[in-house]
Structure 1
């Protein structure tokens, strides 16, 4: 299921993780770490390495369990919601 979720959502997560760094990086510098970790996930998935537990542990820590700040756009919200769903699926 991890691979299916990734294949379905990678393009949008790639776009959104880039977009939120530009739109919210000044007020939410953690999004730069989110982007870097997502790039690691992409690399692992490309090489068929499906153990993403370390990356999702880091994401949960950085994002305070995907808490959505009150001053962000819908793209930011959607990014965190997709990452949380990906996290949940990868841990099944």
Structure 2
């Protein structure tokens, strides 16, 4: 059965079927910062095998449906539920993983940077992203989320503030994509030590979590207030 077609937007696909985020990441198809683009357009632009990709998404959807896996319909969830999930699953994760990755990226850059100069650039990009993300989530929790949850305030126009947050999402997404390319899709070289391999695994995990985080805000929560 064909559920998703080339006319569906990437963000909408992940809204309806969150498991699709893994497949889209595999093909480097943006579903968060550029989630308003039709998947067929992106596939054609990147010269990918559209039939194969859509068949995989639809087959995976049917598989999960047969397994009776619970798929949360985030579009139907209350603002408070979404915000609590974002804080618990994404913000708290960032506060935990970023200091760890700060030490890991610095260590591997110092030890292996001579033979793998890309690690030095990865470390610089990560430092910039770390500062941006920590400032970003503090701004959300301190200013934006309380406004969204305050019924006396939410009627006011907060679209401009949200637009700034979405711009910050784009900047963080671009940094992650640069790190993804520099690390050859987070593929550690043959001579990588265990710390080197762990760093790439953690960066891959960070990208996955952050893209899902941005997707929830850009495609589900924030459009309610534009």
TM-based fold match above 0.5: yes
Selected match of 1:6 from 78, 94, 119: 94
CA contact (8 A) 1:2 1:86 kept: no
Provide the secondary structure at the position in 1 that maps to 2:136. Answer: coil
Matched, 1:30 2:150: no
Provide the secondary structure at the position in 2 that maps to 1:67. Answer: coil
CA contact (8 A) 1:60 1:66 kept: yes
| Residue 88 of structure 1, CA deviation | 0.7
| Residue 43 of structure 1, CA deviation | 1.3
Q: Give unmatched runs, 5+ long, in structure 1.
A: none
Task: Give aligned pairs, total.
Answer: 92
Map of 2:15 onto structure 1: none
Instruction: String of CA shifts for 1:22-43, please: whole Å, max 9, x gaps.
Output: 1100110000011011101111
Map of 2:185 onto structure 1: 65
Q: Provide TM-score, normalisation by structure 1.
A: 0.91
Provide the secondary structure at the position in 2 that maps to 1:47. Answer: helix
Instruction: String of CA shifts for 1:71-91, please: whole Å, max 9, x gaps.
Output: 011111111100100101111
Paired with 2:118 and 2:175, the residues of 1 have a C-alpha distance of 14
Q: Provide TM-score, normalisation by structure 2.
A: 0.39
| Residue 2 of structure 1, CA deviation | 3.4
After the TM superposition, which segments of 4 or more aligned residues of structure 1 sit over 4 Å from their partners? none
Structure of higher RCO (CA pairs closer than 8 Å, 6+ residues apart): 1
Map of 1:75 onto structure 2: 195
